[in-house]
Structure 1
């Protein structure tokens, strides 16, 4: 028997090595569940192209040796349609989903993923959230299977309010937001942080409007002008932001705007030159970042005749590839464990997926809408304008605490 020990040990080592690199050459499908129809379709179409663009980039260097394939599902910005898309993806054997547009959709997907993973061991799904920013998703509603790559609403408002704190000309603020969870969170955290940092500022108005249904924002702008507000804070995105900006321009409103999503399709054109020096954005990156992202911007525009603005998609794919390499597997259970606490070099610095709640910790930037220059040359939608950085908040400053009580499998 002793003569058989060495061959058996060798065979075991070979099997172990084979298992360790079992993912080499695999194709990993990611179900992209976001709008390709309706008013928000231009944003969804841009982001789908971005997922495909970055999948190609990651595939060329993937440390896990796998190839990512993006499988699109048009959810029409509907939670019900998204639940149907999730079921279809699971039926197709897809273990990774990506979504970002609409926190109401994200809430439905988190619930659906949690139920599936509890009821169907072996068919687990990991949810890569690249833009749905309701803070509850990494607090009271946190899920082991959910990972967020955008900064949440509270993190972004901490940066905005810190910036406004040093602007004595901001005295009267109007809050105009979409009537769903994200919009209500923006209003809530704006009031809380301004009261804490600038108690002298008066919130002179607050209003909500239906998501992706309003075509004429003139009545809302009339309310803003009547209130005497010198500043508007809004979490609007897509057509709701571009049409709002258009109405403000037509009505001659010349106050400041603090926004989350100036970059989304159509908004730069709606802004034009009239928003120069008046419109600010908070984000985890910007058009004119030096390094690799600068090259991505140029290449994406050349290839698609569109602008690259959702860099969180790169963060999601880069961390996923590193987690698969670390886990030596594409098994979602093992990959989720490897994603927890993962630290990686990103386009905006050294980032970390916080283990406590799966919220990416990263720096935030305040940028201002102005004419392009030799220093900041990128021009979205060929407007001759750009978002120039005016303030950077390191990850530890932009971070907010979590109340997440993570339930792990």
Structure 2
């Protein structure tokens, strides 16, 4: 079509009046992703980018976001924070200087806490250029409790909610008697340990917690000494919130030591973990998530296959429903608000619902915490007839062991939200 139009234009007689200049392209609605896409957790940041881009491409393919002035496309700009707080604050200043109305971040609760504070101060100081913070993975509960903010929305279940799902599974696990807690030494890791102790005491008082250890985040290259401590404790089960290379290296060390442990993890189905665990993880490793590829049903399968068609390389096979859901809910809220102004979009997001053929969620208005189902799934070997899809071509995937519908995952909140006038 473009060739035909160009031919017609250039074939016009010389006497034809000068053509009007082409109409300028519509300015996109920009989302600033502040995330580590280099360094030890760069692979996790790149996984986020892929999921957000696919959701954006899907919305743009159907015409973009409908506004009174016409349709506008979404566009993603990535700011590499190298997983650091100071770098994230510098990136946020770049976002605000460029007038980007929405930021997305998640792969560190420490970073998220700093960004919430920065967004609050910026929005109070610059009411004409306010920013909305969309959180897809920072799961420290305080972000939607004590430090909740009108300008912050979380699309992932927080640590206590995830632990609630895991401890519901452990409640029924009669073989779990001695549990070792290990995690990353920052706010999220400490919260995971606290939630595990509190919930296990309430649900399984017969279980002994035989170890509780935190390690530097992203700096341990050899987890063998930690695994030796776990072995010496006599633990039969490990609970960990580790993610990224800290999880991969932990489970590799357990495999190398030949320990037959059950791992109840937040992210055991994440980047590289299934391949690192190998056969030793079959029936042993469990993970909790809002969705996984073997949930089942034609609609869920189609969603997963769309991602694999867009990103066919096995190393890119890391699908996050919540990240794509977040972009869909943002677009719907902008359309409802009829503007990209942050406060109006925030009010449109409050109480908003998401529903497709295999997932349902709602954004709780009191604390801006998304309430959605959670699945605890167990690692399986591809080809054993129990799963259809493996992870990253590893030969291992996950099967649902316990399902909690959205209302069953919701926990009380202590949020006392201050809303702008």
Is TM > 0.5 for Structure 1 vs Structure 2?
A: yes
The alpha-carbon deviation at position 166 of structure 1 amounts to 1.0
Greater shift, 317-326 or 191-200, is seen at 317-326
Against the structure 1 CA distance between its residues 100 and 390, is the aligned structure 2 distance closer, same or farther, given a 3 Å change threshold? same
Contact kept in structure 2, 1:348 and 1:363, CA below 8 Å: no
Which structure 1 segments of 5+ residues have no match? 1-23
Per the alignment, in what secondary structure is the counterpart of residue 280 of structure 2?
coil
Bigger shift: residues 319-328 or 261-270? 261-270
Cα separation, 1, equivalents of 2:415 and 2:26: 36
How far residue 292 of structure 1 moved from its aligned partner, in angstroms, is: 3.7
1:388 aligns with 2:399: yes
Cα RMSD (Å): 1.5
Please point out which of 82, 95, 116 is paired with 1:89. 95
Residues 204 and 347 of structure 1: CA distance in aligned 2, closer, same or farther (over 3 Å): farther
- Secondary structure at the counterpart of residue 82 of structure 1: helix
Give ranges in structure 2 of 5+ residues lacking alignment.
1-24
Pick one of 223, 233, 247 that aligns with 1:241.
247
> Do 2:131 and 2:151's aligned partners in 1 also have CA atoms closer than 8 Å?
yes
Q: 1:266 to 1:360 in 2, by over 3 A?
A: same
- 4+ residue runs of structure 1 moved beyond 6 angstroms? none
1:151-300 map, 5 Å: 151-289=157-295, 290-300=297-307
Which residue, out of 317, 338, 359, partners 1:328? 338
* TM-score of the two chains, using structure 2 as the length reference: 0.89
Query: Quick check: 1:315 aligned with 2:325?
Result: yes
Q: Displacement of 1:264 after TM fit?
A: 2.3
1:329 CA drift (Å)? 1.4
Secondary structure (helix, strand or coil) at the match of 2:292 reads: coil
Distance 2:184 2:150 in 1: 28
- Is 1:27–2:23 an aligned residue pair? no
CA contact (8 A) 2:177 2:207 kept: yes
Match of 2:19 in 1: none
Q: Secondary structure at the match of 1:330?
A: coil
Query: In structure 2, what is the Cα distance between the partners aligned to 1:122 and 1:367?
Result: 46
Shift of the alpha carbon at 1:334? 0.8
- CA deviation profile, 1:43-100 (whole Å, cap 9, x unmatched): 1112112111111012223563431101001100001000000000110110100001
SS at match of 1:216: coil
Moved more, 275-284 or 322-331: 322-331
Post-superposition Cα deviations, 1:261-307, rounded to whole Å, max 9, x if no partner, equal 12322212211222000000011111213344422322333432111
Contact kept? 1:301, 1:308, Cα under 8 Å: no
- Structure 1 residues 123 and 343: alpha-carbon distance in aligned structure 2, compared to 1, 3 A threshold: same
Query: Are 1:340 and 2:350 counterparts?
Result: yes
What is the deviation of 1:243? 0.3
Deviations 1:374-400 (A, max 9, x none): 552111121111011111101111110
Q: Distance in 1 between matches of 2:151 and 2:391?
A: 35
User: 1:403 pairs with 414, 418, 421, which one?
Assistant: 414
Equivalent residue pairs, number: 386
SS at match of 2:156: coil
Pairing 1:140–2:153 present? no
What is the TM-score with the length of structure 1 in the denominator? 0.92
Distance 1:143 1:346 in 2: 28
C-alpha displacement of 1:25: 5.6
Task: Map 1:67-146; keep pairs closer than 5 Å.
Answer: 67-146=73-152
2:380 is aligned, of 357, 370, 379, to 370
